[in-house]
Structure 1
Amino acid sequence: MTRHSGDTGRRHFLALVGGSLLLSACSSSGPVALYGLSAAADPGAPGRRSSAQVLVTRPRALKALDTEYIAVAEPGPIYSYFPNVAWADSLPSVVQSKIVETLQNTNRLRGVGMPGDGLLIDYQLQTELRAFELRVGGSSRALVEIAAKLVNDRNGRTVASRVFRVESSAGTTDPDRAVAALNRSADQVFSQIAEWTLQSI
């Protein structure tokens, strides 16, 4: 198991919840379950349509989150990972895809996509994953925090910036319930990012 600490950077094993759950980033057989994230089907109230086309860039993230493994964070923060389960792709790629899907579901933009999609770009939506993890130490909480910046692609100026943070109770370290709680937090953050983007362009 790999643990990442901003203070020590040491690698060692962690027994969590009285040793009943071993968190690991290393599995010789690979993950037995892959998890995705949902995109809000109805993100926000209806509003005016925009002729703008928005490019969603790949989120920046610390190495501890730039991985397909599902993170668990102790106070510090010290990062460990659930064994035998993973995101369907690297976390930044999964988040990028779901932000695009959430914006598309608003039906209020002329175009939304990723690099290579052939957009005539008006704005870039740039993001940074600051937290996307199950927080333990006390109650178990699913924390998602994303910093977003909307940039005018024509002149490079920042139009707006904001930090979005949602925390949901998980109540357990069971992977299924932890991922469900992360989905709830992420769904709210994606909806807030979509509505903020539409209001800012």
Structure 2
Amino acid sequence: MTKLFVPAMAALLLAGCGPLVQLGGNSPAPATLLVLRAAAPPPSWAGPTPLAETLSVAVPDVPAELQTLRLPVQVGAAGVQYLAGASWTEQPNRQFQRLLADTLAGAGVPVLDTRSGTVSPARALTGHLREFGLDVRGGPVVRVRYDAQLAGPRGGGTVALRSFVAEEAVASQQPEAVAGALNRAANRLATEVAAWVKG
């Protein structure tokens, strides 16, 4: 009886200590997590806004290499690696969507958050974030490419399509330097998108 009791008690004690193996626990945590931010915070809305002027901004689709918290490095026509020590706080397409929405709001476009309301916006901005990383095939540059689709106004039966690209040379391939260059490129691109949407 004692021989059976000891292993059973040991198993119960181990179970109470929590998991012995944690997912991702074998890799050290990065020293810094990377974020994207709009160059200027969006304004505080006040007063009524015509529904015909409202817009929603969708989280853009991304290729497989961007469905991660890592930062892709284009090393060849068919080769991608990831920058050592670089990790985003959340996937770049979600951060880009927020930066884009904040930039549009800062430019005077009423952006509705469709996740937390029942009001349907007059127009919808969707798209594909095709590139968002470092390219070292020539002089190292960061590149952001966003293929935008602007639908509306409602019932208009038209969709406007346009591709936006922003690049910036980088002197250092340290994660924070690359993320800073990507943030600046993304802000320039978002400003161009805002001018297009307003026009």
TM-score bucket of the superposed structures, by smaller chain: 0.7 to 0.9
1:104-156 CA-partner distances (Å, limit 9, x unpaired) = 111x23x3133313243101100111111110023110111100010126337
Whole-angstrom distance in 1 between the partners of 2:53 and 2:115: 17
Structure 1 or 2: more helix by fraction? 2
Whole-angstrom distance in 2 between the partners of 1:85 and 1:174: 8
- Matching residue's letter, 1:131: E
- The alpha-carbon deviation at position 192 of structure 1 amounts to 0.5
Q: Could you list the runs of 5+ residues in structure 1 that have no partner in the other structure? A: 1-25, 44-48
- The alpha-carbon deviation at position 86 of structure 1 amounts to 1.2
Give SS of 1:117's match.
Answer: coil
Percent identity over paired residues: 28
- The alpha-carbon deviation at position 174 of structure 1 amounts to 1.7
Q: What does 1:161-200 correspond to in 2, within 5 Å?
A: 161-199=161-199
CA contact under 8 A between 1:149 and 1:158: conserved in structure 2?
no
- The alpha-carbon deviation at position 55 of structure 1 amounts to 0.7
2:135 equivalent in structure 1: 135
- Matching residue's letter, 2:173: T
Q: Could you list the runs of 5+ residues in structure 2 that have no partner in the other structure? A: 1-24, 43-48
1:150 equivalent in structure 2: 150
Instruction: State the structure with more CA Rg.
Output: 2
- Matching residue's letter, 1:86: S
CA contact under 8 A between 1:139 and 1:171: conserved in structure 2?
no
Whole-angstrom distance in 1 between the partners of 2:87 and 2:142: 16
Give SS of 2:66's match.
Answer: coil
1:73-119 CA-partner distances (Å, limit 9, x unpaired) = 1121422112333112111111111111111111x23x313331324
1:60 equivalent in structure 2: 61
Q: Judging changes above 3 Å, is the alpha-carbon distance between structure 1 residues 114 and 76 closer, same or farther for their aligned structure 2 residues?
A: farther
Q: What does 1:1-201 correspond to in 2, within 5 Å?
A: 28-41=27-40, 51-106=52-107, 108-109=108-109, 111-118=110-117, 119-152=119-152, 154-155=154-155, 157-199=157-199
TM-score (norm 2): 0.75
1:12-52 CA-partner distances (Å, limit 9, x unpaired) = xxxxxxxxxxxxxx971233311111213299xxxxx9751
For the aligned residues, what is the CA RMSD?
A: 2.5
CA contact under 8 A between 1:167 and 1:185: conserved in structure 2?
yes
- Matching residue's letter, 2:112: G
CA contact under 8 A between 1:57 and 1:126: conserved in structure 2?
yes
TM-score (norm 1): 0.75
CA contact under 8 A between 1:74 and 1:137: conserved in structure 2?
yes
- The alpha-carbon deviation at position 194 of structure 1 amounts to 0.9
